[in-house]
């Protein structure tokens, strides 16, 4: 049986109210006032005066009507001589909702001392006034508009390295190489790389590893050091999150705590499902007997439940209260199924959308309170799907958030179709509300569309497109996360290859006249189709029709041609199926391309690659249309599928 233990401390916040002569009607059921009003949630049962002594009147726990944002209260009332009603009010100090033993005041969920933190579930909860949103907005706006070229999401994977159990060993892996680059903000994953449990010194939830999961090394052999390193750093007084914050501030960077809002790696990675999830299957999404939209989401938590929202809120509140962060990132792309209605293939209901908007308001209000108390604003960033419509379908009314001032920074998408992302409308609406926009470059898909060696010049092309569309900078996801923990020279080479882009992709001026590799997006990774822009490739070619494909190029080709700064423009096509070069018909903005060379024609592997020399014009700045088809009468033993399109811009 799930234990839910509530500790009520009387005397700290006790209010004695003597209600005399106001016409209270004492009877079974709710208390009714003489004007017909009703006090919500207060139940008086079987009360009477006995021999002139006070008679205890049991009352139900309620969220008091005078403060809808307040914490749960307890009411104890009694009837005195002459019919006077005495009311004793007390705040519920500690509440265990995770099936574990309750956290006593002044102690840590991990066994340490909690100190005097006012976080919910840890000691006394201070009641604070709601901050005027307009006043808070002015303070946040000034902080939001600091220089922020590149936001680097750090998934905390460096903790998996054996040497990352000291400050020096921890920061040298990934953080130190960022110094001197265009990274101005680090978003560090406070709830682990996966497993939905703290890897910081939390007092409200158990630490990643045995306390949260029941095992010493959740995640398998490659992560044998992860939990142990986090624990060792915390015990040494060098909490990883605090270390990241101190490192960032020392090097004049921002530090955000990144919160994965619904991590589901536990659906396929062994040993990382939390004890809380195992004890509360009723809080997970339900398929209702229907096939899930994707099997990885079957362990997602359902945000229709207050307990699910409370668990995320208490982590956000604690970090903002106890750590010197500059802000919080709410990562709704990890993972984007928040309700049972969505995993069943439908859209979030209006009521579910309202739940999430209210939840965002609750987070914003609390962060504004804590920012006001510390006299330095706390920024709120949210990582959301590629479009407003996709976001609302999963329960996130981003446009309402903008109107209600619930976010300061929008991080757009998972980076699964970066060249297809349409930013102009999002930027226009966000900027109207003084909200900044940072689209996501995901190194995994970008590497797959190009190659590891071409990642840098491809990232330049994506960043150039987005800057031209009005984006305020770029956000990087999984950059250099190898998951195989290379050592020595292999690791150094990998890091250098991935991190090369950090020196120029965040500023328009450092992108001008630099080599780039533009592309047309390939297939989106299946679990993220519901939050990503549809990609144009792959497409099957036929002799009777031509595929029309968009190719966006932000470089000022007219100026570069006039200045003679371009060395080469080359269109590169890769196809599945073996055909001859004269079987392809390729037009760029209506002009047929004729100068081509065969790069590969492997009949055994059924792959063909062709490169076409291009000039500007017909190639132009902005939107280009590429038409690709087969000549009439072309025959092939298997379908001819266009699977990759690259445009290389090489400058002198």
Which DSSP string do the residues of 400-465 spell out, in sequence order?
Answer: HHHHTT--SEEEE--SSSTTT---HHHHHHHHHTT-EEEEEEEHHHHHHHS-TTTHHHHHHHHHHH
Rounded Cα gap, residues 308 and 303, in angstroms:
6
Question: For residue 117, what pLDDT is reported?
Answer: 33
| Chosen CATH of 539-651 out of 2.60.40.10, 3.40.1190.20, 3.20.10.10, 2.60.120.1200 | 2.60.120.1200
Residue whose entry in the numeric block shows the structure tokens 């986090």? 230
Helix axes 226-235, 167-174, angle to 10 degrees: 130
Mean pLDDT of the chain: 83
Question: Could you report the per-residue pLDDT of 176-209, keeping only the tens digit for each?
Answer: 999 999 999 999 999 999 999 999 999 999 999 9
pLDDT of residue 61: 41
pLDDT of 504 reads 97
Phi-psi region of 589 (alpha: psi -120 to 50; beta: other; left: phi over 0): left
Does residue 521 carry a pLDDT above 80? yes
Structure tokens at 592: 């047929």
Per-residue pLDDT tens over the stretch 137-161: 999 999 999 999 999 999 999 999 8
CA nearest neighbour of 594 among 578, 611, 608: 611
Q: Of 62-66, 98-102, 243-247, 447-451, where does mean pLDDT reach its minimum?
A: 98-102
**Sheet harboring 547-553: ordered strands across?**
547-553, 622-630, 584-588, 591-592
- The predicted-structure confidence for 543-570, as pLDDT tens digits, reads as follows 888 899 999 999 999 999 999 999 999 9
- Please say if the pLDDT value at position 285 is more than 80: yes
The residue among 77 and 21 whose pLDDT is bigger is 77
Do the strands 622-630 and 6-8 form a parallel or antiparallel pair, or are they unpaired? Answer: unpaired
- Grouping H, G, I as helix, E, B as strand and the rest as coil, residue 187 is strand
* pLDDT score for 487: 66
pLDDT digits (tens, 9 = 90+) for 333-366: 999 999 999 999 999 999 999 999 999 999 999 9
**Residue 605 — very low, low, confident or very high, per pLDDT cuts 50/70/90?**
low
Looking at residue 263, what is its pLDDT?
97
pLDDT at 394: 98
Give me the architecture of the 133-514 domain, per CATH: Alpha-Beta Barrel (3.20)
pLDDT at residue 126 in the model: 53
Mean pLDDT of 252-281: 96
CA distance readout (Å), 127 to 90, 114, 135, 309, 323: 13, 19, 20, 20, 20
Q: Where is pLDDT greater, at 291 or 448?
A: 291
Sequence-distant (≥ 6) Cβ neighbours of residue 642 within 8 angstroms: 537, 538, 539, 540, 541, 547, 573, 574, 575, 628
Please tell me the distance from the alpha carbon of residue 223 to that of residue 244, in angstroms, as a whole number: 20
Average pLDDT over residues 489-513: 90
Domain(s) of CATH 3.20.20.80: residues in the chain = 133-514
Q: How far is residue 152's CA from residue 578's CA, in Å, rounded to a whole number?
A: 42
- Return d(Cα 519, Cα 540) in angstroms, integer: 18
Check the CA dihedral 445-450-453-454 and report its sign: negative
Q: Is 283 helix (H, G, I), strand (E, B) or coil?
A: helix
Share of the chain above pLDDT 90, in %: 66
The set of residues, in sequence order, having a beta carbon less than 8 Å from that of 45 and lying 6+ positions away, is 28, 29, 57, 58
Q: Give the whole-angstrom CA distance, residue 7 versus residue 9.
A: 6
**Closest C-alpha to 278, from 261, 301, 297, 260:** 301
Q: Where are the beta strands (DSSP E) in 243-326?
A: 254-260
| Alpha-carbon torsion, ordered 233, 239, 241, 242, to 10 deg | -130
pLDDT, average across residues 70-92: 54
* Confidence (pLDDT) at 76: 53
134 versus 449: which is more confidently predicted? 134
Position 79 scores a pLDDT of 58
Strand-strand pairing, 607-613 and 596-602: antiparallel
CA 231 to chain centre: 25
* Secondary structure string (H, E, C) spanning 528-564: HHHHCCCCCCCEEECCCCCEEEEEEECCCHHHHHHHC
DSSP 590-648: TEEP--EEEEEEETTTTEEEEEEE--TTTS-SEEEEEEEEE-TT---SS-EEEEEEEEE
Cα angle 392, 396, 399 (rounded to 5 degrees) comes to 80
Is a pLDDT exceeding 70 seen at residue 106? no
Per cent of the chain over pLDDT 70 is 79
Q: Is the pLDDT of residue 97 over 60?
A: no
CA–CA distance, 326 with 178 (Å, rounded to integer) = 18
Residues sharing a CB contact under 8 Å with residue 301, sequence separation 6 or more, in sequence order: 262, 277, 283, 284, 285, 308, 338
In angstroms, the CA 100 to CA 650 distance is 60
Q: What is the pLDDT of residue 604?
A: 52
Query: At 244, which helix (H) or strand (E)?
Result: helix 240-250
Ranges for all domains in the chain classified under CATH 2.60.120.1200: 539-651
Bridge partners of 187, per DSSP, are 153, 256
What is the reported pLDDT for 596?
A: 80
pLDDT band of 219, cuts 50, 70, 90: confident
Q: Is the pLDDT of residue 85 over 70?
A: no
CA-nearest of 430, 495, 491, 418 to 461 is 418
Q: 254-260 and 183-189 as β-strands: parallel, antiparallel, unpaired?
A: parallel
Give the confidence band of 480 by pLDDT, cuts at 50, 70, 90: confident
């Amino acid at each position: 049986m799930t234990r839910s233990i509530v500790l009520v401390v009387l005397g700290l916040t006790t209010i004695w109210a003597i209600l005399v002569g106001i016409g209270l009607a004492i009877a079974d059921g709710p208390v009714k006032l003489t004007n017909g009003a009703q006090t919500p949630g207060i139940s008086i049962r079987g009360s009477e005066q006995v021999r002139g002594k006070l008679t205890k009147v049991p009352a139900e726990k309620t969220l008091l009507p005078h403060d809808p944002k307040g914490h749960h209260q307890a009411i104890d009332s009694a009837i005195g001589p002459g019919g006077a009603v005495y009311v004793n009010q007390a705040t519920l100090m500690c509440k265990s909702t995770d099936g574990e033993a309750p956290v006593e005041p002044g102690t840590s969920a991990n066994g340490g001392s909690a100190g005097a933190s006012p976080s919910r579930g840890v000691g006394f909860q201070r009641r604070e006034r709601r901050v005027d949103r307009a006043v808070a907005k002015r303070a946040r706006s000034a902080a939001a508009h600091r220089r922020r070229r590149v936001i680097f999401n750090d998934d905390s994977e460096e903790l998996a390295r054996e040497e990352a159990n000291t400050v020096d060993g921890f920061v040298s892996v990934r953080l130190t190489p960022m110094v001197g680059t265009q990274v101005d903000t680090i978003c560090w994953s406070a709830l682990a790389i996966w497993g939905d449990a703290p890897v910081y010194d939390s007092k409200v939830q158990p630490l990643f590893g045995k306390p949260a999961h029941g095992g010493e090394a959740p995640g398998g052999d490659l992560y044998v050091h992860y939990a142990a390193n986090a624990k060792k750093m915390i015990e040494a007084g060098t909490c990883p999150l605090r270390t990241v914050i101190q490192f960032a501030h020392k090097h004049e960077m921002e530090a955000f705590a990144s919160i994965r809002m619904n991590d589901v790696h536990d659906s396929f990675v062994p040993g990382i499902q939390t004890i809380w999830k195992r004890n509360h299957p009723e809080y997970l999404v339900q398929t209702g007997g229907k096939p899930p939209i994707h099997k990885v989401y079957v362990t997602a938590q359902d945000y229709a439940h207050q307990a699910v929202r409370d668990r995320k809120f208490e982590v956000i509140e604690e970090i903002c209260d106890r750590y010197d962060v500059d802000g919080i990132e709410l990562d709704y792309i990890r993972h984007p199924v928040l309700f049972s209605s969505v995993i069943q293939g439908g859209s979030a209901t209006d009521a579910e959308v309202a739940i999430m908007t209210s939840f965002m308001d609750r987070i914003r209000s609390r962060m504004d309170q804590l920012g006001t108390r510390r006299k330095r604003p706390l920024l709120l960033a949210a990582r959301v799907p590629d479009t407003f419509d996709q976001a609302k379908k999963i329960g996130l009314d981003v446009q309402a958030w903008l109107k209600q001032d619930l976010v300061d920074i929008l991080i757009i998408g998972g980076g699964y179709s970066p060249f297809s992302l349409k930013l102009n409308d999002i930027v226009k609406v966000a900027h109207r509300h003084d909200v900044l926009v940072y689209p996501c470059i995901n190194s995994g898909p970008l590497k797959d569309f190009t190659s590891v060696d071409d990642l840098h010049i491809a990232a330049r092309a994506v960043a150039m497109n987005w800057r031209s569309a009005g984006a305020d900078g770029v956000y990087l996801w999984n950059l250099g996360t190898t998951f195989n923990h290379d050592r020595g020279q292999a690791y150094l080479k990998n890091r250098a290859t991935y991190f090369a882009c950090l020196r120029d992709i965040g500023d328009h001026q450092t992108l001008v006249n630099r080599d780039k590799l533009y592309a047309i997006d390939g297939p989106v990774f299946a679990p993220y189709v519901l939050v990503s822009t549809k990609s144009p490739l792959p497409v099957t070619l036929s002799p009777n029709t031509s595929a029309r494909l968009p190719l966006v190029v932000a470089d000022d080709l007219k100026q570069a041609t006039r200045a003679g700064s371009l060395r080469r423009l080359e269109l590169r096509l890769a196809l599945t199926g073996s055909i001859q070069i004269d079987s392809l018909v390729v037009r760029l903005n209506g002009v047929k391309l004729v100068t081509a060379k065969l790069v590969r024609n492997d009949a055994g592997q059924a792959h063909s690659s062709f490169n076409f020399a291009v000039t500007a014009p017909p190639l132009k700045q902005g939107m280009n249309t590429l038409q690709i088809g087969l000549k009439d009468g072309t025959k092939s033993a298997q379908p001819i599928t266009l699977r990759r399109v690259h445009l290389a811009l090489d400058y002198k």
